[in-house]
């Protein structure tokens, strides 16, 4: 990483952190007060010891007791407030940052999500944010504490016995340096430990998920050997890490002990020479104990600083990501959309892809008609359907709705006219009702929902849910089969009052009989809707008004009605016959 961008992004997050300046001010004001209290207790006891040495009375001791108790109360109070204010601000900061990240992610165009791995995005929103929080919150808190107590302590010690104070500083510097120097090693090995843990977990994951192959090939031993290797790597990394940790711990304790050795020697001679009182000796001992942790914290901060800088950059990247799909300067509203869709000369190239996914597509979809899109795997069906809702923008040609190029339309107006069933039949882990209502612009009564469920051929299944429409979907509730998920997605799409319905190969896991029933239901329910449907199984598009056949490289291979296409030799006819034959076999 270059030096030039050091801290730039980090400063930006520091400013965000500072938005909570009122609570932070309280927290940061508490720090010196708490530290002074801490030092104050030591001073009180020093004075008591000096009084004893001078032959002072028990009155002084009693008053020392009460003073110490009083200062300790204040010390406790300020310690509470420093921690409470600063750490809770760091959590508020985390919350706001995560909210902003989530908001930008929700608004970023699909092309962004398409090219980034979700694991990477998740790690930015979790561990990178956590790194920032730790640095800005607890990190600055410990540092501020160190910056107060170190000068105060050193001043005190120097004023009492300069030589001894100067000598003590040496082991402390040694320790700070060691922590700073060992930090990269520790980081390296703890990363190695994390990575080997991830290996263990993914090895286990695939062995369990692929257990049929593992058992079928009797490879249990081999898998176990591999797992043992991964586990062994992790063990070795852990042990290597523990050595560095051990070294760090040894140096910290060495420095600590050396300080005491210095105090014992120089303090002893000081006592002898009368340069030092017994109370002063106590002062040295107790203050050294008290500055110790702040110094360790400084070393630790120096260690996490580079990570915080790197994390700041990674988080900033998402916040600064600009949406490629922009609202036009003068957006056109659709008003009452008719649902006419037109593609002329449309092509699409994925970012950095050598070949276009789609090229030269012309298509006219009359309002209220049904158009099917079919073709071999990877021909760009999903991409084509995605162009209409501007999940991607066509890189060539024009897509229009009701005669208006969609780039000129207000995005919300365009998408308001669309309803969509995704290929992956995505549902939320939420109640069945909330899933159905997800896209609905107004609240639907139960009767209406039940009508939709019937259209989607889910009535029987929903009737079996223990809690009916309020049943949770997913791990914590009922698990739906692939076909049931697809049908639910269709019901959800129908709950949305939109002129255009886009079905992306969403019937693959539904058996043909149900499919027929469902398609009939869809035709009745969506009498005036424009429907665009892609499918692997040609029976899905058999009743479409028009079918577009794509080639493997995303061009138009053929077009016509099902009857026309099935009658002429080509990919469509071949596939239709094969699918019919295999279907019949299964029906046997």
Partner 1 sequence: MSDDWIDPDIVAHKGWDTSLLKRLLKFARPHAREFLKSIGVLTGVFACALLGPWIWKEAIDGPLAAAIDARAAGDTPNMTPFLQLIGFYLLVVLANMGFYYLQTAQLLRTGQLVIHDLRTVLFRHMHSLDLPFFDSTPTGSLVTRVTTDVENLNELFTSGLVVLLFDAVKIIITLGLLFTIDPLLATVVVALTPVMIAISIIFRGGARRAYRTVRARLAAKNGYFQEVLSGIRVVQIFRRERRVMERFDGYLDRYLRANLRTIFLFAVFFPVLAFVVNLIQASTIWVGGTRIVSGELTYGEFLQFWFYLAMFVSPIRDMGERYNVIQSAFASAERIFQVLDTEPEIKAPVTPRALPAHAGMEAVRFEGVSFSYIPGREVIEDVSFEIPPGKTVAIVGATGSGKSTLVSLLLRFHDPSEGVVTHDGADLREYDPRAWRGRTGLVLQEDYLFAGTVRENLVMGREDVTEESLARAIEMSSCGRIIDNLEGGLEGEVAERGATFSTGERQLLAIARALAADPALVILDEATASVDSATEAAIEEATRNLLKGRSALVVAHRLSTIRRADEILVLHHGQIRERGTHAELLGQGGLYAKLHALQFGEDTEGRNKG
Query: Interface residues for partner 1 in 219-258 (CB under 8 A)?
Result: 219-225, 227-228, 231-232, 234-235, 238-239, 241-243, 245-247, 249-254, 257-258
Instruction: Answer yes or no whether residue 190 interacts with partner 1 by CB under 8 A.
Output: no
List the interface residues with partner 1, window 263-282 (CB under 8 A): 264-265, 268, 271-272, 278, 282
SS3 348: strand
Task: Quote the distance between the C-alpha of residue 520 and its chain's center.
Answer: 42
List the interface residues with partner 1, window 5-34 (CB under 8 A): none
Of 412, 470, 513, 564, the one binding partner 1 (CB under 8 A) is 412
Sheet with 418-421: list strands edge to edge. 418-421, 500-504, 530-534, 370-374, 546-550, 556-560
Of 31, 33, 36, 41, the one binding partner 1 (CB under 8 A) is 41
Quick check: 418 and 427 in contact, CB under 8 A? Answer: no
Instruction: Answer yes or no whether residue 217 interacts with partner 1 by CB under 8 A.
Output: yes
Task: Give the list of residues 6+ apart from residue 32 with CB closer than 8 angstroms, or none.
Answer: 148
Residue 210 beta carbon to partner 1: minimum distance, rounded to whole angstroms: 3
Instruction: Answer yes or no whether residue 197 interacts with partner 1 by CB under 8 A.
Output: yes
Residue 482 beta carbon to partner 1: minimum distance, rounded to whole angstroms: 12
d(CA 223, CA 200): 12
List the interface residues with partner 1, window 450-479 (CB under 8 A): 472, 475-476
Q: To which H or E segment does residue 502 belong?
A: strand 500-504
List the interface residues with partner 1, window 79-98 (CB under 8 A): 79-80, 83-84, 87-88, 91-92, 94-95, 98
d(CA 161, CA 401): 86
Q: Which is nearer to partner 1, 1 or 353 (CB)?
A: 353
Quick check: 231 and 198 in contact, CB under 8 A? Answer: no
Q: Which is nearer to partner 1, 49 or 156 (CB)?
A: 49
Residue 537 beta carbon to partner 1: minimum distance, rounded to whole angstroms: 7
Of 162, 184, 210, 468, the one binding partner 1 (CB under 8 A) is 210
Residue 155 beta carbon to partner 1: minimum distance, rounded to whole angstroms: 23
Instruction: Answer yes or no whether residue 322 interacts with partner 1 by CB under 8 A.
Output: no
List the interface residues with partner 1, window 419-438 (CB under 8 A): 419-420, 422, 424, 426-429, 438
Of 376, 397, 405, 516, the one binding partner 1 (CB under 8 A) is 376
Task: Quote the distance between the C-alpha of residue 529 and its chain's center.
Answer: 38
Torsion of CA 258, 264, 265, 268, to 10 degrees: 170
d(CA 381, CA 514): 23
Instruction: Answer yes or no whether residue 392 interacts with partner 1 by CB under 8 A.
Output: no
Quick check: 524 and 510 in contact, CB under 8 A? Answer: no
Pick from 79, 74, 82, 77: which is nearest to 44 by CA? Answer: 74
Q: Which is nearer to partner 1, 224 or 459 (CB)?
A: 224
Structure tokens at 431: 């109640």
Quick check: 411 and 587 in contact, CB under 8 A? Answer: no
Site size with partner 1, rule: CB under 8 A? 149
């Amino acid at each position: 990483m270059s030096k030039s961008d050091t801290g730039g992004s980090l400063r930006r997050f520091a400013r965000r952190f500072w938005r909570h300046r009122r609570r932070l001010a309280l927290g940061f004001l508490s720090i010196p007060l708490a530290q002074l209290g801490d030092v104050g207790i030591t001073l009180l006891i020093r004075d008591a010891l000096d009084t004893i040495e001078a032959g002072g009375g028990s009155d002084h001791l009693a008053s020392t007791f009460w003073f110490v108790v009083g200062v300790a109360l204040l010390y406790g109070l300020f310690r509470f407030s420093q921690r409470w204010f600063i750490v809770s601000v760091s959590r508020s900061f985390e919350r706001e940052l995560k909210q902003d990240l989530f908001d930008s992610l929700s608004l970023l165009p699909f092309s962004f999500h398409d090219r980034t791995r979700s694991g990477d995005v998740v790690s930015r929103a979790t561990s990178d944010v956590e790194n920032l929080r730790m640095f800005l919150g607890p990190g600055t808190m410990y540092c501020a504490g160190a910056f107060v107590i170190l000068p105060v302590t050193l001043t005190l010690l120097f004023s009492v016995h300069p030589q001894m104070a100067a000598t003590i500083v040496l082991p402390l510097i040694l320790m700070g340096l060691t922590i700073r120097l060992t930090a990269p090693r520790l980081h390296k090995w703890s990363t190695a430990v994390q990575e080997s843990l991830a290996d263990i977990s993914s090895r286990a994951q695939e062995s369990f998920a692929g257990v049929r192959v593992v058992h079928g090939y009797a490879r249990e031993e081999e898998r176990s050997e591999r797992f043992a290797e991964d586990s062994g790597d992790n063990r070795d990394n852990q042990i290597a890490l523990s050595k560095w940790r051990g070294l760090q711990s040894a140096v910290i304790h060495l420095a600590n002990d050396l300080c005491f050795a210095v105090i014992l020697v120089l303090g002893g001679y000081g006592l002898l020479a009368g340069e030092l009182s017994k109370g002063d000796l106590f002062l040295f001992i107790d203050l050294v104990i008290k500055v110790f942790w702040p110094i360790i914290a400084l070393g630790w901060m120096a260690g996490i600083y580079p990570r915080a800088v790197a994390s700041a950059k990674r988080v900033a990247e998402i916040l600064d990501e600009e949406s490629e799909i922009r609202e036009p300067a003068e957006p056109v509203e659709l008003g009452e959309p008719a649902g006419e869709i037109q593609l002329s000369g449309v092509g699409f190239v994925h970012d950095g892809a050598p070949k276009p996914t789609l090229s030269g597509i012309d298509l006219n979809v009359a309002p209220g008609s049904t158009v099917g899109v079919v073709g071999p795997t990877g021909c760009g069906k999903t991409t084509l359907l995605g162009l209409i809702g501007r999940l991607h923008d066509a890189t060539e040609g024009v897509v229009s709705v009701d005669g208006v190029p969609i780039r000129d339309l207000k995005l919300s107006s365009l998408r308001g006219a669309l309803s969509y069933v995704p290929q992956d039949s995505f549902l939320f882990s939420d109640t069945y009702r909330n899933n159905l209502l997800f896209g609905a612009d107004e609240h639907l009564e139960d009767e209406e929902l039940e009508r939709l469920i019937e259209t989607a051929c889910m009535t029987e299944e929903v009737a079996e849910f223990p809690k009916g429409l309020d049943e949770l979907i997913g791990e914590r509730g009922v698990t739906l089969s692939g076909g049931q998920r697809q049908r639910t997605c269709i019901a959800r799409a129908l709950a949305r009052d939109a002129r255009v319905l886009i079905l992306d190969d969403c019937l693959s896991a539904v058996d043909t009989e149900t499919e027929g029933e469902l398609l009939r239901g869809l035709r009745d329910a969506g009498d005036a809707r424009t429907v665009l449907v892609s499918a692997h199984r040609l029976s899905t598009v058999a009743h479409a008004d028009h079918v577009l056949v794509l080639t493997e490289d995303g061009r138009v291979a053929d077009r016509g009605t099902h009857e026309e296409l099935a009658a002429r030799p080509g990919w469509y006819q071949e596939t239709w016959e094969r699918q019919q034959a295999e279907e019949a076999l299964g029906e046997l």
